[in-house]
Amino acid sequence: MENETSKIDLFAAAKLFSEGKVLSDAIGVSQGFKDALYSIAVVDYEAKRYDQTLQGLRLLVILDQNNADYWALMGNALKDLGLYLEAITAWNMAMGLAPQFKTAMVIARVAVAIKDKDWAREGLMMSLAHLKNNPKDQEDYRKLLEAYEAF
């Protein structure tokens, strides 16, 4: 017979999800555990152990799909493994959670480099939406737009 405390209350979990909570809340995973797992993923990434990085990050995005840092690091690891479209998808998830000009530009740059017009256009549109009055950012955007128009 199963221990009653080890069961997941699906109704309680559904209520948490409807309130915008994540799986880790429903199953009682602490923020400290997620922070430790993310720290390990960062160390693995910096040591160029991209497969191990992805193992930890896959668990993290299941536990908490609303953390832009998890998705952004996953995008970086996927890019370094040569999985460019998967990387763009991960960065796009990060953009949806925490829109930033730099992340949008990474999406656009990688998409231009692999000649994916749809993602390049999407990245450029997101970049434009977050472009401020920084002259360097404006110049970077202009150059990337020219590269996009050239293919």
Return the closest-CA partner of residue 121 out of 149, 91, 101. 149
CATH architecture type of domain 9-84? Alpha Horseshoe (1.25)
- Extents of the domains making up the chain: 9-84, 99-151
Considering the chain, what is the average pLDDT of its residues?
90
Q: What is the pLDDT of residues 10-66, one digit of tens each?
A: 676 667 667 777 888 777 889 999 999 999 999 999 999 999 999 999 999 999 999
Burial class (CB in 10 A: 0-12, 13-18, 19+), 74: buried
Average of pLDDT values for 108-112?
A: 96
- Residue 99 per-residue DSSP state: -
